[in-house]
Amino acid sequence: MSAAPQALPRHIAVIMDGNGRWAAARGLTRTSGHKAGLKAVRLVIEECSQRRIEALTLFAFSSENWRRPAEEVGSLMSLFVEALDREIEELHRKAVAVRCIGERRSLTVRLQTRIAAAEERTRANPGLKLQVALSYGGRWDIIQAAQKLARETASGAMRAEEITEERFADQLALSGLPAPDLLIRTGGEQRISNFLLWDLAYAELYFSPALWPDFAAPDLEEALAFFAGRERRFGGTGVQRAVAKA
């Protein structure tokens, strides 16, 4: 059966990998690589906004990234603060609603303050829903959801048998959004790296050899064309999907 053409993804998740290698190839510091990565961040936000894609979730700093040298961690935190300061008005003008997901109390107070201000400023915007994952890990997300539900059952507000997939998903960082239907990972590696472990259950996975700072409009086009060529069956058969659509 030929692949049915699909519309655009509703929600794109991105693992932005390759900044360090991009910098090393040019004899630059890793921090310069992260700075260069900002250009690709702007481009993907702009392209997704223009295409009216509902949501974009960017993996900017993982739970595991705390293990990097203190100097790199420090400069990444400063870069996030500077990026929020510099970009927030432009994002607001584009009607983007910004939200950060992750263990925010582990971030610097300065960054937490900027995040809260950016979320407050753009909360009501009707455009692209942009999630920036900072100090985020898929296992952390699942554990914090389980803890919330455990508290509810311990208090008697809910019975354990009442925990369903929907109720569980409601407690996750991406609650209220459609699950990502396309994951893009740049930098040539083919791993999920503890990103949205629950949410990516049915996502199409697209791996780009481009290093993140080099990721440009034609690379995104290619990822979207890949998505458009997939037949999404969600565990059913292609025939069932065709009958359901007829």
The binder of ligand FPP chosen from 80, 206, 215, 227 (CB under 6 A) = 80
Task: Write the CB contacts of 3 (distance below 8 Å, at least 6 apart in sequence).
Answer: 229, 230, 231
* 60 belongs to the binding site for ligand FPP (CB under 6 A): yes
Q: Which of residues 208-227 bind ligand FPP (CB under 6 A)?
A: 212
Nearer to ligand FPP, 102 or 149 (CB): 102
Contact stretch for ligand FPP (CB under 6 A) within 5-13, 34-42, 142-150, 155-163: 34-42
* 16 belongs to the binding site for ligand FPP (CB under 6 A): yes
Angle between helices 30-50 and 217-228 (to 10 degrees): 50
Backbone angles phi, psi at 201, to 5 degrees: -50, -40
The binder of ligand FPP chosen from 38, 73, 197, 228 (CB under 6 A) = 38
The DSSP symbol for 229 reads T
The binder of ligand FPP chosen from 6, 10, 21, 29 (CB under 6 A) = 21
The DSSP symbol for 162 reads G
| Active site annotation includes 214 | no
- Exactly one of 17, 181, 199, 219 is catalytic; name it: 17
- Exactly one of 19, 65, 85, 199 is catalytic; name it: 65
Cα 165 to Cα 22, 124, 171, 211: the distances in Å are 40, 28, 10, 36
* 17 belongs to the binding site for ligand FPP (CB under 6 A): yes
Tell me if 149 sits within 8 A of 170, measured CB to CB: no
Give me Rg for the CA atoms of the chain.
19
Q: Which of residues 91-150 bind ligand FPP (CB under 6 A)?
A: 132
Say how far apart CA 56 and CA 16 lie, in whole Å: 12
Nearer to ligand FPP, 11 or 30 (CB): 30
Tell me if 12 sits within 8 A of 57, measured CB to CB: yes
Residue 131 pairs in a beta bridge with 57, 99
Contact stretch for ligand FPP (CB under 6 A) within 5-13, 54-62, 116-124, 146-154: 54-62
Binding-site ranges for ligand FPP (CB under 6 A): 16-21, 30, 34, 37-38, 41, 58, 60-61, 65, 79-80, 83, 132, 187, 212
Active site residues: 17, 65
